[in-house]
Structure 1
């Protein structure tokens, strides 16, 4: 199983990043340990987690928490909360959405400079 993961990892990431389509909005977020960031999203979204720890937790519109390992494809409208449950390591998250994507407000301690608006696709 591990050999298959290594063989197809790059292909999975590249194809996953194409999920929102050609015209997308991208936001890069650094989430510090034991903190979270709130985003407003709409449409098809890809969440890519980078860092020492490839795990993040998400919550869409205040519903149940979901664990994410490396990449998650999502179709949602509303608030997306990205939570870093690690006590030691920060995570870098790239969020790419087909329609609306904007920072809401920090939920628990992530600073505004942690939000870096990426480029628009097209």
Structure 2
């Protein structure tokens, strides 16, 4: 008999307790759409990842670097759909449908309000 094992799901990282989380500035959804487009372009090797470094936590930036090239390189990705959800004040989860040539990809980002700015703290693509 195979023993039962539980699967754990990775949780998005929380801001470091030493960082003061204040009310981030309000930003229209188009602002996060531009950031999602920039991430997609980086994943397609169309944008230098260093441009996004100041907008991401170290863990999210490492994930971005680990996935550079997964969207291919022949065409520039285009954002087709964007949805958002705020699970709590100071946090925003964004999911996007990205067209890369003939393929369609999913992109998920989580933003946290940190020091009066929005910082991407989680990134996942499929």
For normalisation by structure 2, the TM-score amounts to 0.29
For normalisation by structure 1, the TM-score amounts to 0.29
Larger Rg: 2
| Greater RCO (CA < 8 Å, at least 6 residues apart) | 1
